[in-house]
Structure 1
Amino acid sequence: MGAVAAVASGMALGLLIETGIAWAISDTGIASGVLAALSSLNEVIDNLRNVIVGLLVALATLFLTIGGVRYILAGGDPSEVEAAKRTLRYAGIGYGIATLAPLLVSILKGIVGA
């Protein structure tokens, strides 16, 4: 059961990363060869923030789903229930980081002077 979950989560993570990269490429115009469209450092940082937040939310949702399924399938086994709770905790941390990403980007903009 663990191997199937690991393979499924790896495939889902790969799909999420691939989708995020494709979205970033199409959003910034790299696919059409227009790298000069990024007119300022602010725009680059904002695009990067959007991609990272999207990936974080998608990954946290994946962990939330896996944690819920593990909790349901635990069958009362205390170690499995604890593992499921730990996975749900990690999902919450991921959502928290995704929520704080705009604040972290504004701090970064202040540091680089953009």
Structure 2
Amino acid sequence: MFRRNSFRVLAITTVVVTTVAGPAPAFAAEPLILAAYTLPVIIQNITTWVVGLLVGVATLFLTIGGLRRMAAGGDPTEIEKSNSAFKNALIGYALAILAPILLAVVQGWIGG
């Protein structure tokens, strides 16, 4: 009786294992690509994000400078602070314009 039950268990286990495991996968001759995007696409996405952030921050500084200038009421310190905000906004816009150029240089360095 023991031998008969062990044979049934062995047969059922063999059927279950071969059914669950399935056939072994064949390996393709092509290399496995792990990256979702190519390097130029990644650099283009980074460029878009950097330019967007720089333009947003520069616009924020321009708005702050304009509000300080309107609220200054002739106070020289507030006018100086507004001029500083305008200067920072100008630097931000200049960096936003130069960011694609700088990232293209980096892309050239790393061989994209």
- TM-score normalised by length of structure 1: 0.66
Query: What residue identity is the alignment partner of 1:56?
Result: L
Q: Match for 2:36: what amino acid? A: A
Runs of 4+ in 1 over 2 A off after TM superposition: none
Q: Structure 1 residue 113: deviation in Å?
A: 1.1
1:110 Cα offset (Å): 1.1
Please name the residue that 1:67 is paired with.
65
- CA distance in 1 between partners of 2:35 and 2:102 (Å): 26
Q: Normalising by the residue count of structure 2, what TM-score does the alignment of the two structures yield?
A: 0.67
Is there any run of 5+ residues in structure 2 with no aligned partner, and where?
1-33
Which has more radius of gyration? Answer: 2
Note the 1:1-114 alignment, pairs <5 A: 36-38=35-37, 40-114=38-112
Q: When you count helix as a share of all residues, which structure comes out higher?
A: 1
Task: After superposition, give the CA deviation of every residue in 1:28-86 in whole Å (9 maximum; x if it has no partner).
Answer: xxxxxxx9531x11111110110010011011001100100001101100011001000
Q: Which runs of 5+ in 1 are unaligned?
A: 1-34
